[in-house]
Amino acid sequence: MPDPTPLAQDLLQPLWQAGWYGAARHLASPNFGPRPEGAQIDLVVIHSISLPPGQYGTGAVQQLFTNQLDWDAHPYYQGIRGLEVSSHFFVTRQGEIWQFVSCDDRAWHAGVSQWRGRDRCNDDSIGIELEGLEGLSFEAPQYQALQQLCSAIAAQYPVHYIAGHEHIAPGRKQDPGPGFDWQRLQQQLGSVDGTQSWEFPPHASPPA
């Protein structure tokens, strides 16, 4: 895994090309669209996902985001048959970063949502999926990769806010859930970016 310490901004810029992050593995998803005119990309949304739920390293998440999932491969998939979704990034349990949609474009990750006084969070957010199951914990390499990725995003886009899917769609979504350590991420980002650079959800608590 690369050194998670963020690079200086002048060194980070060449790592981006048309919204694609050079330190990620690229696998283009067809599930995206243009952002609305004038959209300011200022929010990072943290999600969690595993397919089938609780099983890791299956490749099914990558298949889902590229419309390649075999709906008959597992009984759980019948409940999501035909779903067309995507996220900008996916971070595996080993800390490997995948990218599916250019950050300049609108990925389909948030759904009906609201944050910082605005609806339709897909319009002006960057979605990051962590391989995991809501309510359970995440791995150290994932936090390292997430800190690296968020710092790189902040060097390229005017992001200021960071929230979980559970915060922007309360009652409808519960991820990443109580197993995610918001304080750990806040401390990691604050140590390198300055805590004033990020606004975290109120009442973000340590993992259960």
Domain coordinates in residue numbering, the chain: 9-194
Neighbours of 2 (CB within 10 A): 11
> Can you give the pLDDT at residue 57?
98
Q: Does domain 9-194 have CATH number 3.30.1370.60?
A: no
- What average pLDDT does the chain have? 91
> Can you give the pLDDT at residue 200?
94
> Can you give the pLDDT at residue 176?
97
Cα dihedral 63, 135, 149, 44 in deg (nearest 10)? 90
Per-residue pLDDT band for 190 (boundaries 50, 70, 90) equals confident
Per-residue pLDDT band for 4 (boundaries 50, 70, 90) equals very low
Hey, what amino acid is at 28?
A
Contact 153, 145 (CB under 8 A): no
Contact 89, 97 (CB under 8 A): yes
Evaluate if residue 177 carries a pLDDT over 60. Answer: yes
176: left (phi over 0), alpha (psi -120 to 50) or beta: alpha
Contact 108, 122 (CB under 8 A): yes
Q: What is the rounded radius of gyration, in angstroms, for the C-alpha atoms of the chain?
A: 16
State what percent of residues in the chain have pLDDT above 70. 88
Q: What is the pLDDT of residues 8-45, one digit of tens each?
A: 444 555 799 999 999 999 999 999 999 999 999 999 99
Active-site entry in 37, 84, 129, 139:
129
Residue 129 annotated in active site: yes
Take residue 18 and report the two structure tokens written for it: 């048309």
Residues pairing with 107 in the sheet: 32
